[in-house]
Amino acid sequence: MINSEGNAGQPAKKVLKLDKVCKRFGGVVAANDISIELFPGEVLGLIGPNGAGKSTIINLITGVYQVNDGKIFIEGKDITKAPAHTRAREGITRTFQHPHLLQRSDIATNIFLGMDLARKKDNKMQTGEYKELLDRLLQVSGLDDLDFDDGIGRLSYGEQKLLETVRAILSRPKVLLLDEPAAGLNQRELEKIKALVRIALDMDAAVLFIEHRMDLVMSICHRITVLNFGNLIAEGTPAEIQENPVVIEAYLGRKRGA
Amino acid sequence: MIKRKNLFSAANIAWLFVIVLAIMLPFTVSGYMVRVLSTTMITYMCVLSLYVLFGMCGQSSFVQCGLWGVGAYITALLTTRLGAPPLLAMLGSMVGTALFAFLIGLVLFRLKRYYFAFSTIGLMMVLNGLFQNWKEGTGGALGISDIPPFGVGPFQISSGQGNYYLILFFAACATLLIWALYRSSLGRSFMAIRDNETAANCMGVNSLISKDIAFGISGALCGVAGALFSFLSGYISSTSFTLPTSQLYLVIIMLGGTASPGGALIGSFIITLLPEWFRPLKDYMQLIYGLGIMGLMIVLPEGLVGGGKDLYDKFRRKRRPTGKKSFEA
């Protein structure tokens, strides 16, 4: 469990800011006064037991859900009330826990959808630049020898998750939200996800990483935020989080006889 | 980079065959058959409009026949009342129907999923009522007669064959445009909405506007089809533009397959030509027809084209295994 000591925590300009965000579903508080900041070129891990409110946070950031209280800013711009498509065009791109690809279209169409989003943000970009980025992404993810006229149904689950991540990075996000990108993936595919995240970091994206596999979280994240029952219970570097008694208790339960 | 299908793919060869066949047909069949084929191509354009809205964008609609009627009435009124030249009248039908659909869509697409489909049933009934009862505008139950044939300048198209080629030309143009739409970013935004609206929004697709544009494009297609119908028949009345015909369009596209314009084409021809060929069966035709559709939906839920494509893919893979998949599990 080695933490890559990158340039995390540098006082760079923050790209995404959640300010005391609350979300309630009836009586259930899914997010309670959550404040999170994301900086370009860093990976923030968002961990917590099932039902802790991790996916809710992503849904709030992307505009799938609207917040009850609090504010969300991207590069200082208030997007609290903005619809999902506006936020996507501001540079927030996500993947889903279960890949949400165009199930009835071919692979090429799916990939081009990511390019479409990039063009909506910056139409000055040349096709050659996309080509370069796409080639790199496909090569790293091992998807480069597929038949792109094939339907999505011919891809394995892991390939679909990789493809969704490729598509997300291809849209050149400022903020990349990955919702359990490694769930259901084997070790080889896991390495590919890591390599893809590194490409996103090279592009100066801020990555929010939800994951249950602790080895992956500890090896890839610069900072970690821990949620439990909609509350933010801990923040810090991977090393700090591993030592944090509150986190250990939330994850493993109270030690017998402690 | 991504390589797309080459020019000589099976689908393209099939299309080429269809075009050659379509050009040759009028020389080999009777005048009556030419007329049947002409109306079939008009139906095809209406079903193609449904392909954009339903096949690409996932929004089922029961109002396509009503939009077709709007297009037909616009041309009929422009030519008979204002003496507009046919080409201008057709343009008026296209733009007018597209605008009509777009504006109505702004309201109707506030409704999500099948509620939109329900609302289009209402719209269809309103339109049919309007065609039937608005005496000053649509001529009421009498309809509008003496619509001049299509013509540009001194060239008048009055023969059955002339009309056939006119309609063929516009049907071919419509198909090409829809094919281009399929490959465009707008087309991709439609398909993203069809497969998952939330995910589409998260990829920067404004679903309200995109769906409305799809509705507008389908309106434009129906408008042109309506104008062609006016020129072909010279007389229109409300009995042509009914809810059952709209439902038939949905049956046609389900039968042919929603995955490509080819489905709309094959479906249109089967549904309109089968009754012609099996006329001796008389009343039994309806029974066979109904059972046939039910059977096909069970055996080939993706329609004839979808099912055919699956078969072709299976055959292609058996013959030439790719062996590229290196992922375990």
The C-alpha of A167 sits at a distance from chain B's nearest C-alpha, in angstroms, of 9
Which residue matches tokens 């209402």? B122
Q: Using 50, 70 and 90 to split pLDDT, how confident is the model at B50?
A: very high
Q: Which residue is closest to A98 within chain B, CA to CA?
A: B199
Q: Which of A83, A113, A156 sits opposite B192 (nearest CB)?
A: A113
Which residue matches tokens 């939800």? A210
Looking at this protein, which amino acid is placed at residue A232? Answer: L
The per-residue pLDDT for B7 is: 60
The per-residue pLDDT for B106 is: 95
Residue B3 has pLDDT above 70, yes or no: no
The per-residue pLDDT for B324 is: 42
The C-alpha of B194 sits at a distance from chain A's nearest C-alpha, in angstroms, of 8
Chain B environment of A142 (Cβ under 8 Å): 326-327
- State whether residue B10 sits within 8 Å of chain A by CB: no
Length of chain A, in residues: 258
Q: Which residue is closest to B313 within chain A, CA to CA?
A: A150
The per-residue pLDDT for B2 is: 60
Low-confidence winner among A159-173, A206-220, B6-20, B191-205 (lowest mean pLDDT):
B6-20
pTM: 0.89
Residue B329 has pLDDT above 50, yes or no: no
Highest mean pLDDT among A146-155, B55-64, B105-114, B257-266: B55-64
**Yes or no, beta carbons of A63 and B201 under 8 Å apart:** yes
Question: Which of B:158-197 have CB within 8 Å of A?
Answer: 185, 188-189, 191-192, 194-196
- State whether residue A241 sits within 8 Å of chain B by CB: no
**Yes or no, beta carbons of B192 and A171 under 8 Å apart:** no
The per-residue pLDDT for B12 is: 81
Q: Which of B1, B195, B205 sits opposite A134 (nearest CB)?
A: B1
Contact predicate A137/A166, CB 8 Å:
yes
Closest CA to A191 of A133, A141, A139: A141
Residue A108 has pLDDT above 70, yes or no: yes
**Yes or no, beta carbons of A117 and B204 under 8 Å apart:** yes
Residue A5 has pLDDT above 50, yes or no: no
- pLDDT, chain A, mean: 87
Task: Write the pLDDT tens digit of every residue in A149-182.
Answer: 888 888 889 999 999 999 999 999 999 999 998 8
Task: Write the pLDDT tens digit of every residue in A218-234.
Answer: 889 999 999 988 889 88
Which one has a higher pLDDT value, A144 or A64? A64
Residue B145 has pLDDT above 60, yes or no: yes
Task: Write the pLDDT tens digit of every residue in B209-238.
Answer: 999 999 999 999 999 999 999 999 999 999
Task: Write the pLDDT tens digit of every residue in B83-93.
Answer: 899 999 999 99
The span from the CA of B140 to the CA of A137, in Å, is 63
What is residue A183's DSSP assignment?
T
The per-residue pLDDT for B272 is: 86
Task: Write the pLDDT tens digit of every residue in B195-207.
Answer: 999 999 999 999 9
**Yes or no, beta carbons of B201 and A159 under 8 Å apart:** no
Helix H or strand E encompassing A224: strand A223-228
Residue B140 has pLDDT above 90, yes or no: no
Task: Write the pLDDT tens digit of every residue in A6-43.
Answer: 444 445 688 999 999 999 998 888 999 999 999 999 99
Residue B8 has pLDDT above 80, yes or no: no
Average pLDDT score over residue span B71-89: 94
Q: ipTM score of the complex?
A: 0.87
Chain A environment of B1 (Cβ under 8 Å): 131, 134-135
Task: Write the pLDDT tens digit of every residue in B267-314.
Answer: 999 888 887 777 777 778 778 878 888 888 888 888 888 888 778 777
The per-residue pLDDT for A254 is: 62
Task: Quote the percentage of chain A above a pLDDT of 70.
Answer: 92
3-state secondary structure of A214: helix
The C-alpha of A57 sits at a distance from chain B's nearest C-alpha, in angstroms, of 14
Residue A144 has pLDDT above 80, yes or no: yes
Chain A environment of B324 (Cβ under 8 Å): 145-147
Task: Quote the percentage of chain A above a pLDDT of 90.
Answer: 46
- State whether residue A85 sits within 8 Å of chain B by CB: yes
- pLDDT, chain B, mean: 88
Q: Using 50, 70 and 90 to split pLDDT, how confident is the model at B114?
A: confident
Chain B contact probe: residue of A61, A104, A106, A160 with most B CBs at under 10 A = A104
Residue B156 has pLDDT above 70, yes or no: yes
Secondary structure of chain B in HEC code, one letter for each residue: CCCCCCCCCHHHHHHHHHHHHHHHHHHCCCHHHHHHHHHHHHHHHHHHHHHHHHHHCCCCCCCHHHHHHHHHHHHHHHHHCCCCCHHHHHHHHHHHHHHHHHHHHHHHCCCCCHHHHHHHHHHHHHHHHHHHHCHHHHCHHHCECCCCCCEECCEECCCHHHHHHHHHHHHHHHHHHHHHHHHCHHHHHHHHHHHCHHHHHHCCCCHHHHHHHHHHHHHHHHHHHHHHHHHHHCCECHHHCCHHHHHHHHHHHHHHCCCCHHHHHHHHHHHHHHHHHCHHHCCHHHHHHHHHHHHHHHHCCCHHHHHHHHHHHHHHHHHCCCCCCCCCC
Chain B environment of A65 (Cβ under 8 Å): none
Residue B117 has pLDDT above 90, yes or no: yes
Residue A128 has pLDDT above 50, yes or no: yes
Average pLDDT score over residue span A172-194: 91
Closest CA to A30 of A50, A7, A12: A50
The per-residue pLDDT for A256 is: 55
Q: Using 50, 70 and 90 to split pLDDT, how confident is the model at B71?
A: very high
